[in-house]
């Protein structure tokens, strides 16, 4: 029997603020690949938990919510943005709210939720290829990906980027407070027992602190072409 050729995957993992969302989107557009924003699936599960008032200790109900997400991702015509529909409702704004982010990182530590989302994430692997953005794309979800990238940036730079994002939206923010929360979250993500945030073996590690977006994209393209 001939082996079915799997579509190629480029995994882009890293902490929030490392620029992986932006970089993954540019890469997917440049290569004509599909894009998986795996964080959105954790955020959607969180939103479903919030909307249905599911208590955090009701693991079975949260697992059900993750398994049964009725979600549609609709990319814009130039691929630069996507509309996210949960039960036919556009939840783009709700997904980014602080409450949703906080709940997402809480549901993400539940092993049953991670397992429930595995199949859904793997379905994104379609021809001509996939750019998969997350925390465990190279270490758990697509371990056989040929090209794995781990994007990072200093906590100070990430706090600064987040500060700019928030103030641009008119949200009050303080750099020392953001820095403290980034350092705490890094510690939690790296030391959690399920799918901790670490570079996959053989990953290209890129520190984006002193690089422009174009420079990061170019490093990754060079890595893929070698």
Rule CB under 6 A: say whether 16 interacts with ligand C5P: yes
Strand (E) or helix (H) holding 82: strand 82-86
Residue from 38, 94, 139, 208 in contact with ligand C5P (CB under 6 A):
38
Nearer to ligand C5P, 38 or 48 (CB): 38
CB of 38 to ligand C5P, least distance (A): 4
DSSP H helices in the chain: 20-31, 38-51, 59-67, 92-96, 98-107, 111-122, 155-168, 175-191, 213-225
The stretch among 26-34, 72-80, 100-108, 165-173 that binds ligand C5P (CB under 6 A) is 100-108
- Residues 104, 49: Cα–Cα separation, whole Å: 10
How would you write 12-70 as a 3-class SS string?
EECCCCCCHHHHHHHHHHHHCCEEEEHHHHHHHHHHHHHHCCCCCCCHHHHHHHHHCCC
Does 105 contact ligand C5P by CB under 6 A? Answer: yes
In the complex with ligand C5P, the residue whose CB is nearer, 8 or 17, is 17
Q: Is 125 in the site for ligand C5P (CB under 6 A)?
A: no
> Of residues 35, 104, 151, 204, which one binds ligand C5P by CB under 6 A?
104
Asked if 152 interacts with ligand C5P (CB under 6 A), we say no
Residue pair 13/199 in contact by the 8 Å Cβ criterion: yes
Residue of closest CB approach to ligand C5P: 39
Cis upstream peptide for 47 (omega within 30°) = no
Per-residue binding string, ligand C5P, 41-60, x by CB under 6 A, is: -xx-----------------
Chain residues binding ligand C5P by CB under 6 A are 16, 38-39, 42-43, 104-105, 108, 134-136
């Amino acid at each position: 029997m001939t082996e079915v050729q799997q579509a190629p995957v480029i995994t882009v993992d890293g902490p929030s603020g490392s620029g992986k969302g932006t970089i993954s989107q540019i890469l997917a557009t440049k290569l004509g690949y599909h894009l998986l924003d795996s964080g959105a699936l954790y955020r959607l599960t969180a939103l479903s938990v919030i909307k249905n008032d599911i208590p955090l200790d009701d693991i079975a109900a949260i697992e059900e919510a993750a398994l049964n997400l009725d979600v549609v991702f609709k990319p814009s015509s130039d691929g630069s943005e996507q509309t996210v529909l949960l039960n036919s409702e556009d939840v783009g704004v709700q997904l980014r709210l602080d409450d949703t982010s906080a709940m997402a990182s809480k549901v993400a530590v539940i092993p049953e939720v991670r397992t429930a989302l595995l199949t859904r994430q793997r379905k994104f692997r379609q021809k001509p290829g996939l750019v998969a953005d997350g925390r465990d794309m190279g270490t758990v979800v697509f371990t056989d990906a040929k090209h794995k990238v781990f994007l990072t940036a200093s906590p100070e730079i990430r706090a600064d980027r987040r500060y700019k994002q928030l103030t641009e939206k008119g949200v009050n923010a303080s750099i020392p407070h953001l820095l403290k929360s980034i350092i705490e979250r890094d510690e939690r993500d790296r030391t959690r027992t399920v799918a901790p945030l670490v570079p996959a073996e053989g990953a290209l590690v890129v520190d984006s602190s002193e690089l422009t977006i174009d420079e990061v994209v170019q490093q990754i393209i060079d890595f893929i072409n070698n």
